[in-house]
Chain A
Amino acid sequence: MRALLIDDERLARLELRRLLTSHPEVEIAGEARTGEEALALIAETDPDLLFLDIQMPGMTGLELLEKLEDVPQVIFTTAYDEYAIRAFEVNALDYLLKPIVPARLAAALARVRPRAERSRLEQVFVRDGERCWIVRLPEIFLLESEGNYTRVCFGAERPLIRRSLNALEEQLDPGMFFRAGRREIINLRWIEKVDMAVSGGLVVTLRGGRTVEMSRRQSTRLKEILSL
């Protein structure tokens, strides 16, 4: 699994590199000192995993994630950053406190899976005011267009991301997501019930109660996919 070390402090990167020597499955694909450097390096090396410092000059770790379309798995490293950690407490992402305890590093790495299919989006980074999430796609049951933004629906959260629904659609796995209409993409695994509408199209009810009405054309396609 290919990893990048992103930290403005040389010694912090050195320390992490040394800690990672006991994890031969992690291949260090590069190091970056700033968010800018990291962006270039991510484009170049397409890593599976980022070790990311939150406090960096120029661009913080969170700002870096916002600039990424396809977010690799992330393990945050921070010395003491109450604010940033609180932002993530909601979905308990992995973060390591410096100095890093080797056992905690091992536990964090155990949860990281190498990406199966390169071309597909696996998770998105979402920031809504003070709160942040890295959402795995299977957790998202609905993506709704709001102009140039897209509303991401998962759990009880409905934050917006700054990407259009059309742009997102190209990167989604067609086996999981289905363009139900002009404004909606639904997650097929979240479908609970499919009814016939008066208009002749289908009405899909998602787990959690949300319903989406589809055009005739899309209804035919959905029937094919679900082989109804």
Chain B
Amino acid sequence: MKRRVSYWLCQILGWGAYSVVGVLMAAQYVGWLPSLVIGFALFFCYSIALTDLLRREIRRRPALSSPRGWSWLVLFLLPPALAAVQTFLVAAFNVALRQFESAAMRTRLPSIISRPADLLNTWTSITAADIVWLLLYLALTSTRRFQEKELRLQLSLREAELRALEAQMNPHFLFNSLNSIRALVLEDPQQAQDMITRLANILRYNLHRDMDHTVPLASEVEVVEDYLALEAMRLEERLRVRLEIDPAAARIPIPPMLLQSLVENAIKHGIAPRPDGGDLIISAKLAGDNLNLLVNNPGSIVEPARDSTKVGLANTRERLRILYGSRASLDLRNCDGGGVAAVVLLPKAL
């Protein structure tokens, strides 16, 4: 709405200024003829109408609204063409309006059609005005489009952040953990204390991390260990973990929650649904210039995967793409030796 108002304001002010200057300049030579004033008033109206038509055409055609290559040429042929139409209208109205002037005036001032130099001047100056109009239009729309794109990007980042938070603050996990801790308080107070500390660590890691930055792999692994300890409290002998972290990889920066979300997925889909549980293997290795993260759990990929998981994976991929471009990858695949593996390849440096 606001954009519409400012568009019409620009139209009226722009063409208004052009017409007023035109009328003032012409009046110096020929005096304040009614045909002159009415002619410029009409010019003001149809110029707005014609450029608005131009705008509609540009908006309708993607080749013109986001031009590249040859369409630039076509785009800049439009102002001279439009100016020709306007010049034709100026001449036509001039001829028509002259009928109402006095005969003396008509002989003193021949029609514009009989003065080719004036016609050419009119066309050039209108062409200039139309080019200015087009440049302004392109500049303003591209700024707006750029801002919108920026906004969309920010929005998708925030969304990814929110989803990761939601995934981590998985309420099912949180409340089940609290329930188990409540039972532990009497059964094993020391373990209960340990679990509360670990839960606090996870909560702090979640609240303080910044999605736009990275953390050393070692810090993420600490939180993953806290998380696994809490899950082990609930799943007990059903969860068997093998953690193989190459000490050389400990300092490699990774996006926060990357490993954590993969581990959580593995437990949710690979361990928790099985009455006998299973083995969870987490490994981090250096391979050349890359860090290779692997999370392996029993089972196989079921198609169609649950929507939430799909969204989760898509979000993780999107985050990797934003941070590393095409240098990072995430694959989920059925292993030859059984089970499902999530494999992430990251460059050692950002």
Contacts and interface: CB of A to CB of B under 8 A. Distances in A.
A81 to B, nearest CB: 7
Contacts of B174: 79-80
B275 A9 contact: no
B74 interface: no
B329 to A, nearest CB: 32
B234 interface: yes
Contacts of B233: 11
Interface stretch (A12-20, A110-118, A178-186): A12-20
A34 interface: yes
A58 interface: yes
Interface string A38-70: 000000000000000001011000000000000
A99 B274 contact: no
Name the residue among B183, B235, B236, B274 with the largest chain A CB count within 10 angstroms. Answer: B183
B116 interface: no
A99 B185 CA distance: 13
Contacts of B332: none
B234 A99 contact: no
Nearest to B182: A99
A10 interface: yes
Nearest to B175: A79
A15 B187 CA distance: 10
B176 A98 contact: yes
B178 interface: yes
A100 interface: yes
A98 B179 contact: yes
Contacts of B178: 98-99
A18 B187 CA distance: 11
B213 to A, nearest CB: 30
B172 A55 contact: yes
Nearest to B173: A79
A197 interface: no
Give the secondary structure class of B's interface: helix
Interface string B154-171: 000000000000000001
Given A79-B172, A81-B172, A11 B180 contact: yes
A65 B205 CA distance: 40
Contacts of B235: 9
Give the secondary structure class of A's interface: loop
Name the residue among A58, A81, A99, A100 with the largest chain B CB count within 10 angstroms. Answer: A99
B182 to A, nearest CB: 5
Contacts, number: 63
Contacts of A18: 183, 186
Nearest to A77: B179
Interface in B273-320: 273-275, 277
Contacts of B187: 11, 14
Interface string A74-92: 0000011100000000000
Name the residue among B179, B182, B277 with the largest chain A CB count within 10 angstroms. Answer: B179
Contacts of B179: 11-12, 15, 79, 98-100
A74 to B, nearest CB: 19
A106 interface: no
B171 A79 contact: yes
Nearest to A81: B172
Interface of B: 171-172, 174-176, 178-180, 182-184, 186-187, 233-236, 238, 272-275, 277
25 contacts: A9-B180, A9-B235, A9-B236, A11-B184, A11-B187, A12-B183, A12-B234, A14-B183, A15-B179, A15-B182, A18-B183, A18-B186, A33-B275, A36-B275, A57-B275, A58-B275, A79-B171, A79-B176, A79-B179, A80-B171, A80-B172, A80-B176, A81-B172, A99-B178, A99-B182
Nearest 5 pairs of A and B residues by beta carbon? A15-B183, A79-B175, A98-B179, A80-B171, A11-B183
